[in-house]
Structure 1
Amino acid sequence: MGVITFEHEVSSSIPAPKLFKAFILDGDNLIPKVMPQAIKSVETLQGDGGPGTIKLITFGEGSQFKSVKHRIDEVDKEKEVYKYTVIEGDALKGIIDSISYVVKIEASENGGSVCKTTSHYHVKDEADHGITEEKIKEGKEKAKAMFHAIEAYLHAHPEY
């Protein structure tokens, strides 16, 4: 078993607290509303939204995957850090044990924010994991599109 790590950064004109609230704390409701083609629904299977909570994410019609389950590992509202792990689902393709994520939203000098994501792919067989730079880039682009859709929603709804 091995671990493959990727990092990704996206800048936003939205202040960090507002972006954290929308993207992380209210994301279960807001993302399916803003991008139903990407995320059809998010259902809490167990827990209260804090560490240990298990969620079922059902992807939209246009996705190559049907669903995943993820476990919340940490929600730090003060530091605007969210950690979770994908523990089950067809996105793991039988070659990945889990994917853990650390999402940190930091204030930027211009009054906006920077969303920094680190992902750790825990692969079953280091030699034959099938994770290519192309597939990771594709995933990053989808995440970036979702991020910008939330950002556009917040600009269109300043009262949020």
Structure 2
Amino acid sequence: MGVITYSQEVKSAIAPSRMFKALIIDSHNVIIPERIKSVEFIEGDDGTGSIKKTNFVTSCPIKYTKNKIDAFDVDNCYCKYTLIESGVNFNKIDFIIYKVKFVVADGGSVCKMTREYHAKEGCELKEDDIKQGKDKAMGLVKTIEEYLLANPDVCA
């Protein structure tokens, strides 16, 4: 099983704690409530070790995701979680580990994201296999920033 790791940094004009709350803690209400049908905890209560299932509306290409929360540190604006199951059949990917950390920078923040794509036994991953996920991650952070700039009371 091979592993491909990608790291990205995205600058934002929004403070780390506010971006962390919008992206990680309250994303189902802030980012795309029109695309998320429900969020439920299969195990735990939103802390480390919990398994969170996000159900998407029928018009979305992904029906659901299940993520195991590996680390969750609100004070340091850090989260690590593993995508363990999805309504999309990944032909080559066994699971994906995400690490997200917001740090103070230039009156705002920098979102540092790392993704580890773990290939299924006997499969080889290429950049084209995961390019779409990289682009969506960058776009999501910018979408949240725009929303928070337009709505200064949200996640304040």
Cα deviation code 1:51-91 (max 9, x no counterpart): 11111123455543322211111111122110000111244
- Cα RMSD for the two superposed structures: 2.0
Structure-2 separation of matches of 1:23 and 1:57: 14
Letter in 1 for 2:30: L
- Which residue does 1:115 correspond to in 2? 111
- Which residue does 2:94 correspond to in 1? 97
1:9-158 superposed matches below 5 A: 9-33=9-33, 36-37=34-35, 39-61=36-58, 63-91=60-88, 93-108=90-105, 110-125=106-121, 128-129=123-124, 131-158=125-152
Matched-pair identity in %: 44
Letter in 2 for 1:138: Q
Aligned-partner SS, 1:22: helix
Equivalent residues, number: 154
Aligned-partner SS, 2:85: strand
Give unmatched runs, 5+ long, in structure 2. none
Structure-1 separation of matches of 2:58 and 2:114: 27
TM-score normalized by structure 1? 0.84
Give unmatched runs, 5+ long, in structure 1. none
CA 1:62/1:138 → structure 2, altered by over 3 Å: closer, same or farther? farther
TM-score normalized by structure 2? 0.86
